[in-house]
């Protein structure tokens, strides 16, 4: 197989990897905030549910969770899903898993904000929602940016786990080409593409950190 054809096939697989990446971030970032607030809730039953949610999703392998979402409708409810369900199962599995990790990162950021800022905002006439979105959240984002960056870069590499559902993301394509060509070159090219993807993420996060630098601790 020519190198250009090989690269083209890998880039096609990268499209699915990028889809998993974008869908996961789009769902898990806002869901993580909700889970974090539930985890910090003074309403004990809600806090316990959030703790259990985080514990289960962080304490079991993502690959196992993907398989559970893929096959649960049939084995639990006898519902036969069509072949496209693998994409839905993939999205649900990744979003729920990463929301648990993001929730703990959000929680650490929220708890690092001094209570005096909440009290000062109340004195100035800010509502709770205004205090959260205008005062607290910008500072939280700045403080958690490095941890979020690490988790987002991990997500880039975790997209390869979608192969367990039969999704032809980039790693699956590299594996198939390597088996047919009896060569390690597809794996080397895939590694290079993953690395470039991660460098791009690092660059974007670095720029974001610089823009948030006007929030001083």
**pLDDT averaged over consecutive 10-residue blocks of the chain (217 residues)?**
86 94 96 94 94 95 94 81 87 96 93 84 84 84 90 95 92 91 90 94 89 64
Provide the residue range defining the domain that includes 158: 3-214
Number of domains composing the chain = 1
Which residues have a Cβ under 8 Å from the Cβ of 110 and sit 6 or more positions away?
36, 40, 136, 140
Residue 6 neighbours by CB under 8 Å, 6+ apart: 177, 181, 185, 186, 189
At 3 the pLDDT is 83
Residue at token pair 């205004």: 130
Distance, C-alpha 163 to centroid of its chain: 17
The pLDDT value recorded for residue 216 is 55
CB 52 within 8 A of CB 45: no
pLDDT at 151: 95
What CATH number is associated with residue 31?
Answer: 1.10.3720.10
- Residue written as token pair 């693998």: 86
pLDDT reported for residue 182 = 84
CA 142 to chain centroid, in Å, comes to: 18
pLDDT at 76: 80
């Amino acid at each position: 197989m020519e190198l250009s054809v090989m690269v083209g096939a890998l880039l096609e697989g990268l499209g699915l990897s990028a889809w998993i990446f974008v869908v996961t971030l789009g769902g898990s970032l806002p869901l993580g905030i909700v889970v974090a607030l539930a985890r910090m809730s003074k309403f004990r039953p809600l806090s316990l549910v959030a703790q259990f949610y985080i514990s289960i999703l962080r304490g079991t392998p993502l690959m196992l969770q993907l398989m559970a979402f893929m096959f649960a409708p049939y084995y639990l409810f006898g519902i036969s899903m069509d072949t496209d369900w693998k994409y839905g199962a993939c999205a649900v599995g990744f979003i729920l898993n990463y929301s648990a990790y993001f929730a703990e990162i959000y929680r650490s950021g929220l708890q690092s904000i001094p209570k005096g800022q909440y009290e000062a905002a109340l004195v100035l006439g800010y509502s709770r929602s205004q205090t959260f979105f205008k005062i607290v959240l910008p500072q939280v984002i700045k403080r958690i940016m490095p941890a979020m960056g690490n988790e987002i870069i991990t997500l880039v590499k975790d997209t390869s786990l979608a192969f367990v559902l039969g999704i032809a993301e980039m790693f699956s394509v590299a594996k198939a080409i390597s088996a047919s060509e009896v060569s390690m070159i597809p794996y080397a090219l895939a590694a290079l593409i993953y690395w470039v993807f991660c460098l791009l993420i690092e660059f974007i996060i670095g720029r974001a950190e610089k823009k948030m630098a006007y929030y001083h601790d």
